[in-house]
Amino acid sequence: MTSGTSNTIEIDLFTALEDKGLRKTSARSAVLTRIESANDAFTAEQLCRDLPEVGRATVYRTIRHLVDAGALCKLPILDGAPMYSIARIEHHHHTICSKCGAIGEFRHSTVERVMRSLGKEIDGEIVGHRMEIFIICKRCLSGTNDGG
Ligand SMILES: [Zn+2]
Ligand SMILES: [Zn+2]
Ligand SMILES: [Zn+2]
C-alpha cells in the first residue's frame, strides 16, 4: 500500500507560493511537505498541531496564499473551522459529509450549464463560482464509520 513511487499527482505547491512572491523558507517547506502528505482534508489548527516548530502565523499565511493560488480548496464546514484540501483537478466542486467531514470532489456538466445560464440573469459578469454539497456519506449511512 505504501510502495507507490510515481502514481502520486504532481502538485507544485512551491511554484504556487513563488507565484505569490513568497520565498522558500524551511518553515514554509515544512508546511508544504505536511500538506502534500495529507490524504484527507485538514484544518489550519491540525497543521499547527502537527507542526509545533512552525509559527501559527506562518501556517495560516501559507494556507491563505495556497488558496489564493488555487492550489488548495477552502471548504466551509457546517459547524466548525474551514477545512482545506489539495486541488487535484482544475475546476471542481465538493461534497462534504456533515457527520464525519469526509470530502469528495466532483465535476458535473449540468452544474456548469446551470451556472452559465444563470449568468444571463445576473446583473454583472460572473468570474467564478463555488459549490459545496453537504451529504451524509455512504460509510456514515451504513453505520460502518466509527468516527465521531
Ligand atoms: Zn477541491
Ligand atoms: Zn461520513
Ligand atoms: Zn463549477
Ligand minimally distant from the alpha carbon of residue 87: 1
135 found inside a domain: yes
**Domain membership flag for residue 80:** no
Please, which residues have CB within 8 angstroms of residue 18's CB and are 6 or more apart in sequence? 24
Kindly state whether residues 66 and 100 are assigned to the same domain: no
Q: What are the 10-residue block averages of pLDDT along the chain, 148 residues in total?
A: 41 81 89 89 94 96 91 85 87 90 89 90 89 93 76
**pLDDT (0 to 100) of residue 144:** 80
Give the CATH number of the domain where residue 103 resides: 3.30.1490.190
Query: Residues 45, 111: one domain?
Result: no
50 lies in a domain? yes
Q: Does residue 82 fall inside a structural domain?
A: no
Claim to verify: residue 103 and residue 63 sit in the same structural domain: no
Three-state SS sequence of 108-132: CHHHHHHHHHHHCCCCCCCCCCCCE
The C-alpha cell at 82 is: 474551514
Give me the residues paired with residue 83 across strands.
43, 75
| CA–CA separation, 90 and 67 (whole Å) | 13
Inside any domain, residue 128: yes
* Ligand closest to CA 139: 2
pLDDT of residue 23: 85
Parent domain of 114: 89-148
Kindly state whether residue 42 falls inside one of the protein's structural domains.
Answer: yes
Distance 88 CA to ligand 2 centre (A): 21
Query: What pLDDT does 147 receive?
Result: 53
Span from the CA of 83 to the centroid of ligand 2 (angstroms): 15
Question: Would you state the pLDDT for residue 40?
Answer: 83
| Grid cell locating 89 | 483537478
Number of structural domains, the chain? 2
Q: Which of 105, 29, 19 lies closest to 65, judged by CA?
A: 19
Size (the chain), residues:
148
Do 66 and 120 fall into the same domain? Answer: no
**Co-location of 25 and 66 in the same domain:** yes
Task: Please check whether residues 44 and 96 belong to one and the same domain.
Answer: no
pLDDT at site 62: 94
Q: How far is the CA of 74 from the centre of ligand 1 (A)?
A: 8
- 108/96 Cα distance (integer angstroms): 16
Q: Are residues 50 and 10 in the same domain?
A: yes
pLDDT at 17: 85
